[in-house]
Amino acid sequence: MKKIVLGSFTLFVVYAVLIWLYLFQWSDTSIPDALKGTSVDPATFMNERELVLAQEYSQIKDFLFFLSVPYEWLGFVLVLVLGFSRKFSKWAKDITKMSALQTAIYVFWLSLLLQVFTFPLDWISYKLSMAYNITTQSFTSWMKDMTIDFWISLIMMCLIVFVLYTLINKSPKRWWLYAWLLSIPFTLFITFIQPVVIDPLYNDFYPLKDKQLEEKILHLADEASIPTDHVYEVNMSEKTNSMNAYVTGIGANSRIVLWDTTLNKLSDNEILFIMAHEMGHYVKKHIYVGIASALVLSLVGLWMTKKLSDMIMRKWGTNLKVKSFQDVSSLPLILLLLSILTFAVSPATNLLSRHHEVQSDTYALELTEDKEAAVKTFQALSRSGLSQVNPPFLVKVFRYSHPTILERIEFMEEHNKEE
C-alpha cells in the first residue's frame, strides 16, 4: 500500500513539474511573423494590459486543467488502496439488506469524499476566474451550483451504478455489452430533457427580449429551412463576463441559446453570425453525429474497461482492498479506467468537434456573407475570455473543441479571398 501511495504521489509531482515547464517555459504562443499586424494579431484588437492578462490567465487555467485530470485519478487510487471504498461498502451492507439502498448509501459517501478531495482545485479555478474578472458569480451562488451538480450527479449515479452492478452480478462476462445497450436510450433521454429540466436549475431561460433582433434571427432560420419559433436568452451576466451561444437538446426540445453577455457586447451583425453558426450545427446534424460517435466510443471504452479491470483484479485486487469485482467497492476502479480512457481519446473527439466547428463557420459565412462580422466576433470572444490566439500544441489537442482563434480568423480571411 505504501509503495502504491508513494509511487502515485511521485508520478503526480513529476508530471506537474513537466506540465509547468511545458506551459510556462517551453511553449511559444506568439503568432507567425507573416501574420503580425493582420486581423489575427492580438495586438490589433487587445491593449497591452489585455495581452498580458490573456497570457497569464490562459497559462494558469491550462495548468490547472492538466493537473485536475491526474489529480482525479489519484483520488480514485487513494480511495481504493486506503480502504475507503471497502469501508463504504461495508457500512452500506450493515445499514440495510436492500441492494438499491446499499448502492445509494455507498454512492453518497464515495461522491462526498471525492467532492471534498477535488474541492481545492475547483476553488482555485473559481478564485482565478474572479481575479481575472472572467467570473462575476458570488461565492454563495457558485456553491449553490456545485450543490446542484452534486445532487444531480448523485441521483444519476445511483441509478447507473445499481443497474451496472446488477448486470455485473448476473452476467460477469458480458455486462459491458448490456450496459452499453441500456446507455443508448438513457443518453437520448438525458439529451432530450436537459434543456427543459436540467439547465433551468442553474439559470433562467426565456425567449429573446429584443424582438427586432429575434425577427432577423428567425429570418436567417427560415433561409436555412430550420423550423423554430423562438431563440432563447439566458441570464449568464450574473455569473460571467465571457460570451457564448450553443445548440442543445434533440427533437422537439432542440434549442438555440444566447448568453445575455453576448447580446450586451456584440453588434446585431456579429450576433447574426453567431446564430448562423449555431444553425449550421443544426443543419449539419452535429448533435446526432456527436451522440453517435459518443456511443461508439463508449462501447469500446466499456469493453476495454472489462478487459483491464479483469487483469488489474487478478494482479492487484488485494492491494486495492477489493475482494470481488462484483462488489460495489470496485466502482472507483471502473471510474478510474473510464476517466483514463476518456482522456486518452479526447484528442480524437476534440478533432471531430473542431471539424464540426469549421463546417459551421463555413455555413455561417455563406449564409450571412459578412466576413467582417465574423472576424470581429472571434476577436471579441478572445478578448472577453482572455483566450490565447495561438495556444500551445498540447493545449489545443487536449482542450480545444473549437479551432483556435488564429485558425478561425485566418480561415475567414482565406475563405473570403477564395470567393
The one catalytic residue in 270, 361, 407, 410 is 361
Q: How far is CA 325 from the centre of its chain?
A: 29
How many CB atoms are located within 10 Å of the residue 256 CB? 23
The one catalytic residue in 278, 327, 407, 410 is 278
C-alpha grid cell for residue 208? Answer: 429573446
Residue 361: active-site member: yes
Residue 278: active-site member: yes
C-alpha grid cell for residue 34? Answer: 507573416
Contact 260, 235 (CB under 8 A): yes
To the nearest 10°, report the CA torsion of 353, 358, 361, 365: -160
Report the distance separating Cα 163 and Cα 70, nearest Å.
Answer: 28
Report the distance separating Cα 320 and Cα 301, nearest Å.
Answer: 22
User: Is 219 labelled as part of a ligand binding site?
Assistant: no
Residue type, 390: N
Report the distance separating Cα 389 and Cα 383, nearest Å.
Answer: 10
Query: Helix 268-283 to helix 211-223 angle, to the nearest 10 degrees?
Result: 40
Sheet holding 255-259, edge to edge: 205-207, 232-234, 255-259, 245-248
Residues belonging to the active site: 278, 361
- Annotated binding-site ranges for Zn(2+): 277, 281, 357
